[in-house]
């Protein structure tokens, strides 16, 4: 019998690569999507016949549409919207294009690919979508306005989809994965000095992916890996807005 297919964006490094390896071990064929075709080919070779590389820049509309068409595969059982990046700097003076690209990737692309994936999943009443958001989606941080805003959108979008699936396709699961600081290439690309973040706040990439897949098995909507981050989210989201905003005025990255 044909194996179920899992599509993972941002699969050339970090959480995306780990998702691909762990899902292949669970018996999925995996579709690896990212810009770096050479890196994808290497990872696909390591995973074996279960892996298919698909090089695409998901901030480019034509590439996004090409991936969306591939998601029409009737074997698609899981979509992991993992592709993302962050930039540092005050919004008013930061270069505009990286901000626009972030919105294209975190919002437009997630919307488009999720729409493509859910069409078949809802018809079959089977499947799942994991949107990799962030603890930053519950908070705000100076110097990361677009990142926090787009991750907040991803969480809200996932919650709304969950409500829709309960009525239209109850066997389709959606999840917002919301990790905190995680050891991946992300912070190197964003030029964030890891030494400015307390060590107790860091998570391993493997623990994040394991928490996500365990949550998926239970049909959990919001997954916040790490007890420390669960407490942070639980506390800060219950604060009166003026108190929360005052607290958000300080963040580890402010010590640039």
Catalytic amino acids?
147
In eight-state DSSP terms, residue 185 is: S
Element holding 81 (H helix, E strand): strand 76-81
User: Exposed/middle/buried for 187, CB within 10 Å: 0-12, 13-18, 19+?
Assistant: middle
**Please, is 175 exposed, middle or buried when counting C-beta atoms within 10 Å of its C-beta (0-12, 13-18, 19+)?**
buried
Helix (H) or strand (E) holding 51: strand 51-55
CB-count burial class (<10 Å; 0-12, 13-18, 19+) for 10: buried
User: In Å, how far are 71, 213, 248, 256 from 43, measured between CA atoms?
Assistant: 20, 20, 39, 35
Helix (H, G, I), strand (E, B) or coil at 104: helix
Closest CA to 134 of 79, 180, 102, 86: 180
CB 167 within 8 A of CB 189: no
CA atoms lying within 13 Å on the CB side of residue 97: 2
In Å, how far from its chain's centre is CA 34?
13
């Amino acid at each position: 019998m044909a194996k179920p297919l899992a599509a993972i964006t941002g699969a050339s490094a970090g959480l995306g690569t780990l998702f691909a390896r762990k899902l292949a071990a669970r018996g999925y064929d995996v579709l690896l999507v990212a810009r770096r075709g050479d890196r994808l080919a290497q990872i696909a070779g390591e995973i074996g016949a279960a892996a298919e590389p698909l090089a695409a820049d998901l901030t480019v509309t034509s590439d996004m549409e090409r991936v969306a068409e591939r998601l029409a595969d009737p074997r698609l059982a899981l979509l992991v919207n993992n592709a993302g990046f962050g930039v540092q700097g005050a919004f008013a003076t930061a270069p505009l294009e990286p901000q626009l690209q972030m919105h294209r990737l975190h919002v437009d692309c997630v919307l488009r690919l999720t729409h493509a994936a859910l069409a078949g999943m809802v018809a079959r009443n089977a499947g799942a979508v994991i949107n990799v958001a962030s603890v930053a989606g519950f908070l705000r941080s100076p110097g990361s306005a677009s990142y926090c805003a787009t991750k907040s959108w991803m969480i809200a979008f996932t919650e709304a989809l969950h409500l829709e699936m309960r009525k239209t396709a109850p066997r389709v699961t959606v999840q917002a994965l919301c990790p905190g600081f995680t050891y991946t290439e992300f912070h190197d690309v964003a030029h964030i000095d890891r030494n400015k973040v307390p060590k107790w706040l860091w998570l391993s990439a493997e623990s994040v992916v394991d928490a996500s897949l365990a949550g998926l098995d239970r049909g959990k909507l919001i997954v916040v890996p790490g007890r420390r981050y669960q407490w942070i989210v639980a506390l800060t989201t219950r604060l009166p807005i003026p108190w929360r905003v005052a607290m958000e005025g300080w963040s580890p990255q402010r010590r640039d």
